[in-house]
Each structure stands twice: as structure tokens, then as C-alpha cells.
Amino acid sequence: MSQNALRIGIAGVGTVGAALTRLLHSKSNLLAERCGRAMTITAFTARDKDKDRGCDLSNMTWFNDPVALAKSDEIDVFVELIGGDGDPAFASVMAALENGKHVVTANKALLAKHGVELALKAEENGVILNFEAAVAGGIPIIKTMREALTSNSVQRVYGIMNGTCNYMLTRMENEGLSYDECLKDAQELGYAEADPTFDVEGFDTAHKLAILTSLAFGTQISADDIYVEGISNITSDDIIAAKDLGYRIKLLGVAQRTASGIEQRVHPTMVALDSPLAQISGVTNAVAVEADIVGQLVMSGPGAGGDATASAVASDLCDIAKSKPGHQHAPALGKPAAHLEPYVKAQMQAHEGGYFIRMSVNDRAGAFASIASRMAEAGISLESIVQHKRPEELKKDNKDSQPVILITHETTEAAIRGALDKIHSDGHLAAPSQMIRMER
């Protein structure tokens, strides 16, 4: 080999860390040939030194403190797999950068909160900060946006970025299960945590979207400016109605450039059944990029899991192994962190795809006319009104309320919410209404 072996320290030897250890061992010869340099894990830190992780750690130095590992002269690269946006993840990554160590991390929460600060520190010290595994697991979306699309101006980036939510929505549709049934099953299979809030309420997707937004538009990361709505309010009725209308419900993260700034949003979305994203099922992720030169790119693959994430980490390590000492490294966020533009949040604008609104309307004279009037007062144009009933509801012949679906033309969310508040105040709704954006 042309250089000494790249010495790697791993902080966190859980599912991903163990998979990475096995990968680097089993593929050592192949990686050395492709990278022009051998790679070896020399040290690690974990909560339990002696736990059986299904990989051999016997020849590695153990540290009980991640920060001490990050500063150690035994490593050239610090791989952070601890998780969380605070310490010890932040302190150890910062220590590694300050001490001239390259860093590879899979931690989207850390990057969403401290990404710009960490990128600045990496550039100041002439080291690499790589994070392919932080967004969409095994899909190489970070490298694609940071390197392959450098000549393009991106207009929009969006996709399915959380496997837990996509798994649940897929099973709700395919098997007619309720949200609660799917969540329980996902927890038993290990797809969802005991406290699933981070996944199902959209925060995991938001962190990933914030990183992609910075790469796409050259802005500072601004996770706090993302509109976030999860899938916990999605019901079987919504799933069935969407399919009847030719749509499928997916949790999407969307970032796009507008005349007034950058719009970032995470929410359930109805996508046409024949669209590429509608075909993504189970725990699979997919990210689409719309740019001026290449048009639309869609990449799909495993969004999580030990092997997929380890593959992305290994790719980052290979880039570091190939880098030349003393040469300038590519900026972590696509351009020098000091040159990232301040994030400007877009003003409220009409959603071109319109909205799906499901109501349970009290069966009384004048109710439908009053609802249509409230929509008109808010400037909302209705494309269709459908009295939607499932077969079992027709058998019950429930005369107290009627399920009704409204499909709107282009309008704003604020206009719809204002109209729904008035309709509810008028006493026409037997239950809270459901509103879902439609992408066409």
C-alpha cells in the first residue's frame, strides 16, 4: 500500500458499529485494493466492554470515554455511532476535529443541530467530516448532492425518509390494520422504539430533511424552521379513501426553493398510485431531487439497518483513505461553511396539489350548503364533494352523521384550517376533520 493503514476508532458498537466491524474485517482486502490503503479498527468505546456483539474486538484498545478516544494518538478517524444531539456525541466529535482527526458520523440529530459549527471546525483544522449514513441509510444521497450535482441548481428535494412510518402505512393499506395495531407490530419487530414519537411524529424525517436542504440550496441548517406533522392521526378510513381516489398516503419530507425563500415541510401526503414514490413499500426509503440540468433523479433503497448503514459509513471511510495528506478537502456541506447563506423561510403559499379533507358531517338540513359557503368565504375552490361510505357503514345505515370527502383546488393550509374552524363552530361536524396534502 502507498500509505500506512488508516487507523479507525469507533464510538458506539451497537447494531451499526458491530456490522461495520464485521464489514471492514470481511472486506479488508477488497477495500485496500479499491482505496489504495488498508483500513484497521484500532480502538473502540462502548457502554459494556465485554458484551458479545458478534464481532471480534479483542485486538482493539478499549476506552471508557468517547472524548478520550477522539483525542487518542492511536486513531486517524473517529467514527461516531453514539447518537443524540448533545454530549457525549457532540463533545467527542468536536474533540476529534480539534485534534486533527477525520470524523465519520451517522448522527442526523447532531448534524441538524450542530452541523454548521462542526463543518466550520473541520475546515479550520483541515480534516474531513463525512455523514453519508445520516440520511436514508444505504442510499448514497449525500455524495450525490455534494459531488455529482455540483453543476446543477436544485429546485426541490423530497422523499420517504423514515422506514418505520412507511412500514406502518404500507401494512395499514395492504392488511387493513389500524394505526395502533401497526405500531404495536412495528415495536415487536424492532422497527419502532418503545417511545415511537421521534419516528411517527416526523422529527426523524425533519432532521434528515434539514441536512438535505443545506446541501441542496447552500443555506445554513435550520431544522427548527420545518413544519412537522406525523402519521399518528392517519386512520384506516383515510387509507381506503385515498386508494379509492387513486392515491396512496406517504410521509414525505419536502424542501423547495420559492420566490420568497426556502420551504421545508414534513407531513402525510397523498401521492398518485402511478408515481415512483407510491411504489416504495415497507421499510424502504426513497429520495427524489429535481434540478435544472439533470431533471429528476429518484434513488431508493434500505433506509436503515446495520448492514445498510455500515455500508454508508464504510463508503465515507474509503473517501478518507483515498484523500491525500495536505490537500484541501471538499466542504462537508457542499461549500465552505462560512459561505452558507442564512436560511430564509418561505412565506405561506398555495399548495398546487390541493387538499384532501375528510369530515363526519351531522345529518341535518342545510349542513352541506353551509359547509360549501364557509369554503367559498375562505376563497377555497372545491374540485369535488364525495359522500364516502365503506360497505359495512352502509349496512349500519347510521343516520346521525355522514362521511364526506372534499377535494380542493390549489389553496393555502391557513385558508382551509380557518374554514374548518368555522364549520366546526357551526356545529356541523360530529368528529374532528382530517386534512392531507395531495401531490399531483
d(CA 34, CA 187): 39
Helix, strand, or coil (residue 263): strand
Question: Is 243 an active-site residue?
Answer: no
418-421 long-range Cβ contacts below 8 angstroms, 24+ apart: 418/378, 419/374, 419/375, 419/377, 419/378, 419/380, 420/357
Compute the half-sphere exposure of residue 402: CA atoms within 13 Å on the CB side of its CA: 14
CA pair distance 258, 265, nearest whole angstrom: 13
Residue 263, phi then psi, degrees to nearest 5: -100, 130
* 8-state DSSP, 245: T
Q: Which residue out of 101, 121, 208, 250 is catalytically annotated?
A: 208
Phi, psi dihedrals of residue 272, rounded to the nearest 5°: -60, 140
3-state secondary structure of 318: helix
In 35-140, which ranges are E strands? 39-45, 61-63, 77-80, 102-105, 129-130
Catalytic positions:
208
